Structure formats: structure tokens, C-alpha cells
Amino acid sequence: MKNLVIIGGGFAGFWSAMSAVRQARFLRKDSSLKITMISLDEYLSIRPRFYENKFKDMRVPLKKYLDPLGVVLDVAKVIRIDHKKKNIFTLGSNSQEEVLSFDGLILAAGSQLSRPSIPGFEHAFNVDTFGDAVLLANHLKELSDFRFPSAASRTFVVVGASFTGLEVITGLPERLRSFDLPDIQFNFILTDRSFSIAPEYSSEAREIISWQLEKEGIQFFAGEEVDSISPDHILFKSGKCIETRTIIWCGGLKANPLTSMFPIDRDCQGRLKVDQFLRIDGQKTIFAAGDVAQACVDDEGHTSVMSCQHAIPQGKFAGNNAVNALFDCNLIPYSQPRYVTCLDLGSEQALLTSGWGRFPKMTGISAKKLKTEIMSKWIIPEKDVEETVKISVPVILHNEG
């Protein structure tokens, strides 16, 4: 019996498990393989939706899928990986250290909010985890219960003018309108140390984004670096101070620190560089997928980004290849030339872009409907377990046309 361990229950980890089950069946090795997933909790969190106001269907029970397939779910925290002796050390709910051995490993531990050493950072909200999103929602509800009594309570500051920050700030006006307090005027401020909104987007896309910010009355403070944060204000190094009760940090992500357990180069986000089969350098049966992996996606040198767009396909490839590696079968090279983004920009507005230049392809209500479909259907597992297993086959996503 061979042991395949998957660390992480997010998009990459979940689809690694589905693909591993499918491929083991295909090779008729399912009775010779034990698959274990180690996750911090029992849910696949639909993290890209944490900026939303409604929390229904934002967490998918892992056991619903894993139990019928015979995949063991170990709810624990991984504290150390010994890749030479092939041992994983965990802490469970009983705070007792346990050791799990493996023959094959898929590291799919995801990413976490980058938390700078800014005085008072703990006073900022974020949407990194489900718990963080709930804290923000409860905070907004509490302010509404008191009818946003002060200017500071009616002022909302989002730090970070890239993808997540834009979705958070443009979603706030609609969230606050849901409290049905039409007589209250709110102030929305987006800040970034960069001098440009969404610098990773094309100039044409930035024009659309800027237009939507202006339409919603959202101010953009460019070139501002945070000096300190307090419960009732945020201070910038320029000396500018904004009185606010709500500061939401969207300042970027970094890979799970478990990547440091492997003595190889990591990129600026802490991700492990993997080969064309998603193997960690020098390891025949150890793979990485999702936000912990820096993978080449095409022949032009582009590398994956931290998003479910890359995590889901990588999970399918990693699960397939891990099983094949354990049973001495050929591996499938990962490739994903197609790259699109669909950015939510608030009420009845979204922006679909195509290519690494992020050029506009669709806007308005049509793009908004597509965004809703992506968030509610495309990235969610099928309700039927066996149907979910069937669609875990690795597929290369080519550019349209």
C-alpha cells in the first residue's frame, strides 16, 4: 500500500484529491493507494467570494466528497515536513504532535495575507479567510445598528489598488445600501503606494476601472504608504491622516511558509519553483500546486498567478501526476496558455480581460453576469461526487481563436 498525502484543502488540494482518485481507478491501483488530505478545517473555502456580502455556499464540506471516495481527511496543522525521510509532523485538535509518513506528497497549502510590521496593523480588517470576512461583515452590521454615528464610521479605506482591493472597494457601496439607510452619505477611499490603479492592467482597462470608481464616488489616493493604523484613523508616511473606523487591508499575498521546508529557490512571494510536471526540484514524487507553486504556463515564459484560475487546473495535473509517479507511469506536462480575468466592479458592472496584457473584452451587465456565473458555478465542485471525479481530468486550456 502506497501513501499519497495532500497538504491543503483549498482549490489545488481538493482537485488534487479528485484527480488522484480518478487516476488510481484508471490504473486499477485504487486498492493499492491510500490518499490522505491534511487541512486546517473541514471545508473547501470559496475564497474569491469573501469580498461579497452573502456567505451562503462560500464553504463546501470536504467530507461530502472525500468520505465516499475513501480519502482520509486529517484536520490538523502541518508544522514540519522532512522530505528526505518522507515524514510530515502535525498538530491536531488535541495539541498532540503526530507523524505521518508518505510515499508521494502534493503540497497545496495555499497562500495567506502578507502582514507587514506596521504599528496597529491588528486594527485593520481583511477578507483573507472566511473568519476574517465574517469579522468585517459583523463590524459593518454593528456600525449600521448605530446608524453610522460619526464621520469616521461613515468613511471606509481600502489599502491596495489591485484585484482584491478593487473588488472590495467597489462592492462596499452596494453592501452599505443593503442596510437601507438612504439618508446617510458615505466616503470611500482607495489607497496604494503605487501611483497607478491596477498597474498590472492595460491602460484601456484602467480607464474603465477609473470610470467606475468615479461613478461610485470612490476617491483614489496614489503614492501613499501606510505609517500606522489605529481603531479610528490611518496615518500615511506623507503625513496625511484619515479618520475612519473601517480600514480593509488588501496588500497582497504570500505563499504558505511550509514552502521553506524545501531547500530550493523561492520567488518573491515565497512560492516554490516547479518543473513542467509540477514536481518540486529534485523530487520524483513530491509535487506543488496552487498558490505555493510558481509554474510556467506557456512557451512565452509566463508563470502562474495566485488565483483559482491556476490552482484548479494545477490540482488536476498534480493529482494525476502524483499517482503516475508512484506507479511508474508517464507524467503529463502542465500547460495553461489561456489567461483571462473577470474583475467585479460593483453594482451591474464588471470587467473581463483577455491575455497577459489584460485588455478589455467585455464590460457592463454582461460581464457582471459572467462574473456571477464564475463565482457561483464554474469554480464550485459538482454536487454529485462521481461527476466531480469525472471532470478532474487534466486539460490544457488554450487561448481562444
Do residue 202 and residue 264 come from a single domain? Answer: no
Task: With 0.85 as the threshold, say if the pTM is over it.
Answer: yes
Cβ atoms of 305 and 12 within 8 Å: the answer is no
Q: Does residue 307 sit within a domain?
A: yes
pLDDT on residue 95 = 85
pLDDT on residue 399 = 67
**How many domains are there within the chain?**
2
Do residue 243 and residue 125 come from a single domain? Answer: yes
Q: Which domain holds residue 311?
A: 2-113+253-337
Of 249, 273, 297, the last residue of a domain is: 249
Do residue 243 and residue 275 come from a single domain? Answer: no
Do residue 220 and residue 329 come from a single domain? Answer: no
Q: Is 198 left (phi over 0), alpha (psi -120 to 50) or beta?
A: left
Q: Does residue 64 sit within a domain?
A: yes
Q: Does residue 13 sit within a domain?
A: yes
What is the 3 state secondary structure string of the chain? Answer: CEEEEEECCCHHHHHHHHHHHHHHHHCCCHHHEEEEEEECCCEEECHHHCCCCCCCCCEEEHHHHHHHHCCEEEECEEEEEECCCCEEEEECCCCCEEEEECCEEEECCCEEECCCCCCCHHHCECCCCHHHHHHHHHHHHHHHHCCCCCCCCCEEEEECCCHHHHHHHHHHHHHHHCCCCCCCCCEEEEEECCCCCCCCCCHHHHHHHHHHHHHCCEEEEECCCEEEEECCEEEECCCCEEECCEEEECCCEEECHHHHHCCCCECCCCCEEECCCCEECCCCCEEECHHHEECECCCCCCECCCCHHHHHHHHHHHHHHHHHHHCCCCCCCCCCCCCEEEEECCCCCEEEEECCCCEEEEEHHHHHHHHHHHHHHHCCCCCCHHHHHHCCCCCCCCCCC
Do residue 101 and residue 142 come from a single domain? Answer: no
Do residue 139 and residue 85 come from a single domain? Answer: no
Do residue 36 and residue 68 come from a single domain? Answer: yes
Do residue 21 and residue 105 come from a single domain? Answer: yes
Tell me the three cell numbers of residue 379.
469554480
Q: Does residue 56 sit within a domain?
A: yes
pLDDT on residue 400 = 58
Do residue 207 and residue 102 come from a single domain? Answer: no
pLDDT on residue 56 = 86
Of 197, 228, 249, the last residue of a domain is: 249
Of 249, 282, 317, the last residue of a domain is: 249
Cβ atoms of 336 and 397 within 8 Å: the answer is yes
Do residue 101 and residue 126 come from a single domain? Answer: no
Q: Does residue 272 sit within a domain?
A: yes
Q: Does residue 91 sit within a domain?
A: yes
Do residue 214 and residue 236 come from a single domain? Answer: yes
- The ranges of the chain with pLDDT < 70 are 399-401
Q: Are strands 77-82 and 43-45 parallel, antiparallel or unpaired?
A: unpaired
Q: Does residue 47 sit within a domain?
A: yes
Q: What is the pLDDT of residues 52-93, one digit of tens each?
A: 988 888 999 999 999 999 999 999 999 999 999 999 999 988
Distance, in Å, from the CA atom of 224 to the CA atom of 157, rounded to the nearest integer, reads 12
Do residue 149 and residue 75 come from a single domain? Answer: no
Q: Does residue 355 sit within a domain?
A: no
